[in-house]
Amino acid sequence: MAIPEAARHEFKRRTAIVESLETGDIRVAMERRDARERTALDLFKAIKAGEAVTPEQIDATSRGAIVREAIKTLQDAGDTDALHDAVSAAEDERDHYRGKERKLFDAAVSGKVPVDQHLEAYLKEAKLADKTTAEWRGLVKRFARWCAEKALRLADIDRKNAGRYVSEEIAEMHPKTAKKHLSAVRGYWDYLARRGLVDTEQSGNPWDRQLQPQRRKKGSAEATQGERPFTPKELNAVLYGEQLDSGDREAGQFDHQLQDAALIGALSGMRLEEIVTLRVGQCAGGWFDIRDAKTQAGVRRVPIHSGLTKLVGSRTKDKKPGDWLFHELANERDAAAVTTKRFTRYRVACGVDDKRDGRRRSLVNFHSFRRWFVSQAEQAGIPETTVAAVVGHVEGRKSITFGVYSGGPSDEQKVACVKAVKLPPPGSAISTARQGIEALAPQLEFQAATVARPKPEQ
């Protein structure tokens, strides 16, 4: 690939980059070519813009890793003549480097680079959500620390060592946690393979099929029980703070905020992160306008339920369109994560929990409002495609007919869907019992006084 004149000073005045793609597979070769071309173009652009470019960015470590793989491939093939030429070329290339660059090149050729050497480059290219980026960085870093303790470098990670890590660190995790952890390191390894920084052509990705498939016991209701909607009694408890015990929480300072978010969740089916990041301008004209969602199907307009009119009016009063509906969360780095933790403590304080053995978290959580909304709409006879459009699910529109040809449910159908969802009467169940006790209080006090009164002397 040709190096632009304006960038050649960073490449020892070389006019072109010539690299072996180290594969005979045309598909793999094209993927590697395209990936390296994108990286090089980004680098040229940064140099032209006058940005600081480190030697590591240019090629010391990457070139060393490529040379190592080329030499290894020729050794495995037994091609002594080509191997001799490759070693000579590597020595010539080494002479181009000085100081820190030479050390980086030597470390890469010898396979002594740490496991997370290319992690930031991978995360930058992966373009994951901020939360996922932070999670995956932490998971790969955790693996890198384990490798450092075992004196393992990037070149040492084969299927056997990957298996050791899975057995020692991942296998005992909850299945969902283990799957997330494995996805992070496997995704990183796929990137390394595309860049030619590790060789997976012969043995494949060392992280593939490392977890034992989870098999449920046939006919076990406990094994098939998943996270569920709230019951009417539970819904009243969390919406109105019934039987609320402050416990060791923040003395109830977030209760009103959490109850507002809960009510919106129950009467809209919206996700927590959609609710707590709403701006005032997205709550106008009788609709919630969701512009940034978890999936493309999540970008949608949701009718504002009549039961939310007062709440929305109160929270939008005297605010600008760009202000947060939940202004209390405007300065939080991750409003959804903060609210999730607060709601969990609040929910438990309300006496609503459903922990099961072997389950990582309770079967009821904030998402149970969304499940409750969907259940209510379904029981009211609302078509699945309409419910899916309101809550932002793609599942209800997967067929060719609905997914390609249909323009989707009308606004009137969406409004009808939301109207069909009705809350259980406030105070039913728990409140009724409490009111009954309060009504009996005078009688109980009278009876207690009678029992306590001493008998007259005979």
CATH of the domain at 157: 1.10.150
264 and 369 housed in the same domain: yes
Amino acid at 105: F
78 and 155 housed in the same domain: no
Contacts 24+ apart (CB under 8 A), 106-112: 106/64, 107/61, 107/64, 108/60, 108/61, 108/62, 108/63, 108/64, 108/65, 108/67, 108/68, 109/64, 109/65, 109/67, 109/68, 109/71, 110/68, 111/68, 111/153, 111/154, 111/155, 111/156, 112/153, 112/155
Per-residue pLDDT, 320 = 96
284 and 257 housed in the same domain: yes
Count of positions (residues) in the chain: 458
101 and 140 housed in the same domain: no
| Location of structure tokens 């060789």 | 199
Helix 384-391 vs helix 367-379: crossing angle, to nearest 10: 150
424 domain residue, yes or no? no
Per-residue pLDDT, 396 = 55
130 and 76 housed in the same domain: no
For the chain, residues with pLDDT lower than 50 are 52, 55-57, 223, 400-401, 404-405, 429-458
Total number of domains in the chain: 3
Alpha-carbon torsion, ordered 335, 339, 341, 344, to 10 deg: -160
367 domain residue, yes or no? yes
Q: Among residues 91, 109, 127, which one ends one of the domains?
A: 109
Q: What is the spatial distance between Cα 338 and Cα 406, in angstroms, rounded to a whole number? A: 39
Q: Among residues 88, 109, 130, which one ends one of the domains?
A: 109
Cβ contacts of residue 451 below 8 Å, gap of 6+?
A: none
SS3 284: strand
Range of the domain at 9: 5-109
80 and 190 housed in the same domain: no
430 domain residue, yes or no? no
Indicate the pTM of the whole model: 0.56
Per-residue pLDDT, 17 = 57
371 domain residue, yes or no? yes
394 domain residue, yes or no? yes
Q: Among residues 59, 87, 109, which one ends one of the domains?
A: 109
395 and 258 housed in the same domain: yes
331 and 187 housed in the same domain: no
290 and 413 housed in the same domain: yes
